[in-house]
Structure 1
Amino acid sequence: MGATISTTQFYFYGRRHFTQTGYVKHKAKYNSSVQDSPSIKVGQEGADGVDLSNKVVCITGANSGIGKTLATYAAAKGAKLYMFCRSKDRAEAARKEIEDETSSTNIEIVLMDLAEMESIKEAIKGFQKKEKKVDILVCNGGVLLNDKKTSSEGNEMTFASHLLGGTYLLSQLLLPQLKAADEGKIVIVSSGGMYNSPFPDWATATSSEGASHDYNGNLAYSYAKRGQVLLAEQYTKMYPEITTVTCHPGWTATPAVDDAYGDNKKYLEPMRTMWEGAEGIAWLMGAKKDEIESGGFYLDRKPQRKHLSGPFFTEGSYTKNSQVEVDEMMANLKKAAGL
């Protein structure tokens, strides 16, 4: 019953807030400037006033979709940008497009596979020889699959790329650099899909032997995204000197959505443009520490509720995890990441 209510209410709540119509409504209430595109440079007409000069910004999944849009924004604002990507060819093509659009000459590519723990560890070893600080880490990359696939290390790909490797391990390895920054910040791109579920038992979350049901790509994604929200809450307690937030882009027309939903994406219309989905996340990148609620789950520059499973869109209890369950998740993440 809880699953049915949370899924139904997520959809109707999303119709009001996650679509392009919701973005227009939310933007009308902003109390600071908003750009019309991500490539507007510092000081140009229409700029939002953000300057990321002398900031080191790392973005995963930076060669397409929301990640590329955020990378374009960071480059236009003068950041030293590191694009964390899996495909060398796609990363190089995206870097060239971003350079042409922003005139930035300060963009580097770091190759890693977010679903492979050893790939992340090796890539970060090389990165740490270059950089002593990271001002902003954006955990955006990951896959959304309809059929179960596993990495060479045996981890289910959605869980590994979004949560285990792409958020937990990556951020753990970069803690020294984040702490070295004046205002270190982790921005985790989660999803409204996390409203559909609590974080389940470990076997189910990882789609391993002993899972409570057969593999379901949408549920695997929901579990990973709920895990990211819980992780940000824990990081806020564990590392108060680092601002950690989760956020989501609403229902945005990205290549990943096309691949996952096909014709069914019509139920998400009118969908946001790439920049409309990314703009609130870009704001989090540029906002000052005292402007952000660490541990919050953001949409369009505003922290949102994290549960919708009760009657009439109230919080309910179905999607909530106990502290014991969260502690178990954290312990299992550490073990699975090999830390």
Structure 2
Amino acid sequence: MKNKVVIITGANKGIGKEAAKQIAKLGAKVYMACRSLDSANQAKEEIIKETGNQNVFVIHLDLADMNSVKSFADEFKQRENKLDVLINNAGIWTKSKQIFELGVEMTFAVNVVGQHFLTNLLIEELKNAAPSRIINVASHYASGLKIDDINFGKRKFNETLAYKQTKQANRILTREWARRLEKYNISVYSLTPGFVPSTELFREQNVVGKFLLKVFALIEGRTIEEGADTIVWLASTDKINGSKGGFFNQRKEEKCKFFNSEDERRLWEKCEEFLTAVKENQLK
């Protein structure tokens, strides 16, 4: 991947960090987009030391803060005029319901709206690098999306369902992005890293939850290296045997059960509504 420019969100820990390391080993210039600068800079030094690739950089990004998303994109554009691969990896699993300042539930704000906004802001750079790719880290653990009740105003809030609906949204939006960007020679894919119990995603689980995670890990758990493998493959392989907008698991495309063009359009429009509010807020 020499001469390739890659952004990885949430690259300071877990599968994001492993993916950043493996992609750096392949010779790419890697931008680690992270909320915690201390953790990210420590990870960056580890990656440089292990890979020998000096072209690893950190830029602050908080996907819960749309001003931070805009600032990240602005700083990246000052440094680079092209982007070969955007890897939307960062995600959260919140224990309690929190409504984001623009009226979006926090899990959805970070895992979907922030990611959608970031992708929007980097389209020109992706065009400049075409053929380029966008890779969205989704999950098998996905369901329950109610496009007319994203904020759980009509349902009782459930932390698990709040997370699962964002992963369904990631998979749905991947196909809509793929359709819209195909004419620019930008390919878009989603994937599941599998169940990786040792990531920071589950840090807010209670004692019972952590016990169940250990049980599930024995049955179908994957290591961080295994979880990152499909991300790295989608980012680096010359040829992907699968459809644009496809959902991948262990380097193979799987049929996605959330295939509905009307839902894809409606969810896109809902995200655009949120972004209109963001842009109006930034212009004040």
- Under a length normalisation based on structure 1, what TM-score does the superposition of the two structures give? 0.75
Query: Are 2:249 and 1:299 aligned?
Result: yes
Q: 1:174 aligns with which of 122, 129, 152?
A: 122
Asked if the contact 2:176–2:265 (Cα under 8 Å) also holds between the matched residues in 1, the reply is no
Q: Percent identity?
A: 32
Task: Mark the runs of 5 or more structure 2 residues left unpaired by the alignment.
Answer: 280-284
- In the other structure, the counterpart of 2:282 is none
Change (3 A) 1:71 1:115: same
Query: Are 2:226 and 1:276 aligned?
Result: yes
Alignment deviations for residues 262-309 of structure 1 (CA, whole Å, 9 cap, x no partner): 1110332221110011112211111225544211110000011222xx
Secondary structure class of the residue paired with 2:79: coil
Query: Are 2:22 and 1:77 aligned?
Result: no
Query: Are 2:206 and 1:206 aligned?
Result: no
Asked if the contact 2:137–2:191 (Cα under 8 Å) also holds between the matched residues in 1, the reply is yes
Alignment deviations for residues 295-338 of structure 1 (CA, whole Å, 9 cap, x no partner): 1110000011222xxxxxxxxxxxx4753333221112012023
Asked if the contact 1:149–1:156 (Cα under 8 Å) also holds between the matched residues in 2, the reply is yes
What does 1:8-19 correspond to in 2, within 5 Å? none
- In the other structure, the counterpart of 1:141 is 90
Secondary structure class of the residue paired with 1:123: helix
Matched residues in 2 for 1:201 and 1:244: separation?
A: 22
Asked if the contact 2:196–2:217 (Cα under 8 Å) also holds between the matched residues in 1, the reply is no
Change (3 A) 1:300 1:322: closer
Matched residues in 2 for 1:233 and 1:220: separation?
A: 21
Change (3 A) 1:323 1:214: same
- In the other structure, the counterpart of 2:190 is 246
Matched residues in 2 for 1:66 and 1:97: separation?
A: 15
What does 1:297-336 correspond to in 2, within 5 Å? 297-307=247-257, 320=258, 322-336=260-274
CA RMSD of aligned residues (A): 1.7
What does 1:1-339 correspond to in 2, within 5 Å? 52-166=1-115, 168-194=116-142, 196-197=143-144, 199-202=145-148, 204-207=149-152, 211-240=153-182, 241-253=185-197, 254-260=199-205, 261-270=209-218, 271-289=221-239, 291-307=241-257, 320=258, 322-338=260-276
The one-letter code of the counterpart of 1:201 is I
Task: Mark the runs of 5 or more structure 1 residues left unpaired by the alignment.
Answer: 1-51, 308-319
Q: Which moved more, 1:294-303 or 1:267-276?
A: 267-276
Matched residues in 2 for 1:133 and 1:122: separation?
A: 17
Matched residues in 1 for 2:92 and 2:98: separation?
A: 10
The one-letter code of the counterpart of 1:223 is Q
Alignment deviations for residues 55-110 of structure 1 (CA, whole Å, 9 cap, x no partner): 00000000001100101011111110000001111111111111121122111111
The one-letter code of the counterpart of 2:175 is E
Asked if the contact 1:183–1:289 (Cα under 8 Å) also holds between the matched residues in 2, the reply is no
Matched residues in 1 for 2:256 and 2:7: separation?
A: 26
Alignment deviations for residues 3-54 of structure 1 (CA, whole Å, 9 cap, x no partner): xxxxxxxxxxxxxxxxxxxxxxxxxxxxxxxxxxxxxxxxxxxxxxxxx110
Matched residues in 2 for 1:278 and 1:82: separation?
A: 17
The one-letter code of the counterpart of 2:171 is V
Shift of residue 150, structure 1, vs aligned partner: 3.6
Matched residues in 2 for 1:333 and 1:128: separation?
A: 23
Number of residue pairs matched by the alignment = 269
Q: Which moved more, 1:145-154 or 1:240-249?
A: 145-154
User: Is the radius of gyration larger for structure 1 or structure 2?
Assistant: 1
